[in-house]
Every structure is written in C-alpha cells, then in structure tokens.
Amino acid sequence: MEDQEMQLKVRRVTDKFTESMYVLANEPSVALYRLQEHVRRSLPELVQHKTDMQSWEEQSQGAIYTVEYACSAVKSMTNSSLYFKNIDGLLRQAISMKEQISNSQSRSDVTPLPSPLVSASHPPSTSS
C-alpha cells in the first residue's frame, strides 16, 4: 500500500509540476495577446486624440499669430503718438493762420481800397 500511496503522491507532484511548466511556458503569449488586444481597442481613440490635438495646435498657432499681430499694431500706435502730437500742432497752427487770414480779409472788406484811378491828392472834378 505504501507503494501505491507513494506513486499517487509522485503523480500529483509531477502533474502539478507539469501544469506549472505549461502555465509558465504559455504566460508570455497570453500577456502579449492581452497587450495586443488592449492596443487594438485603444489605438483608434489615441489616433483621434492625436488628430484633435493637431487641430487644436493649428488653431492655437493661428490665434497666437493674430494676438502677436494685434500687439504689434498696438505698439505701433503707442509709438505713433509723437506723430499725432506733431499733426495736432500743425492743425492748430493751420487753424490759427486761417483765422488770421479771415480776420485780415474781413478788415479789408470793411475799409474800401482806394481806386487806382482816383487819387487822394486830386479830388474828382465836378462839371456843371
């Protein structure tokens, strides 16, 4: 009986050892299969995310260009204040000259200009 018990124990040990070897031998392929399955399921979503990110990057680049252009325009405007001050001074000067011209014309309209034909030293003769 002891022989049968020993054979039974040996068979159990060898069966467990064989099963363990089988699991160890097949484990990498199962892991690779699971990995492949995961990649196959998640890859389309990752591709979509990449496409979305590229689109957002293009939009962001356009917006950045627009903002930089606007900042440049604003800086140019602030730098042009000197020119506007010069224009303002020239306009004020032109308005002042226009007023002087208008005033001198209004004075000349009030006082009649002497006629070149009639001289102040020779009064017009009256014939009767």
Residue-averaged pLDDT of the chain:
84
Q: Does 83 map to a domain?
A: yes
Establish if 51 belongs to a structural domain: yes
Quick one: pLDDT at residue 86? 92
Inform me whether the pLDDT recorded for 51 exceeds 70: yes
Q: Is residue 96, in this structure, part of any structural domain at all?
A: yes
pLDDT at residue 25 in the model: 74
- Rounded to 10°, the helix 81-110/2-79 angle is 20
**Residue 117 maps to a domain:** no
- Which tens digits make up the pLDDT trace of 54-64? 999 999 999 99
Does residue 111 carry a pLDDT above 60? Answer: no
pLDDT at 112 over 70: no
The count of other CB atoms within 10 Å of the CB of residue 82 is: 9
Q: What is the mean pLDDT of residues 92-119?
A: 77
Q: What percent of the chain has pLDDT over 70?
A: 84
Average pLDDT over residues 89-98: 96
The vertex-76 CA angle with 72 and 77, nearest 5°, equals 120
User: Model confidence at 128, in pLDDT bands (50, 70, 90)?
Assistant: very low
For residue 45, being part of any structural domain is answered with: yes
Is residue 38 situated within a structural domain?
yes
Q: Give the Cα separation of 113 and 128 in Å (integer).
A: 28
Q: Please state the domain count of the chain.
A: 1
- Report yes or no on 115 lying in a domain: no
Residue 15 has pLDDT above 90, yes or no: yes
Q: Is there a domain that residue 55 lies in?
A: yes
> Which structural domain, as residue segments, surrounds residue 27?
1-101
Q: What is the CA radius of gyration of the chain?
A: 53
Query: Three-state DSSP class for 57?
Result: helix
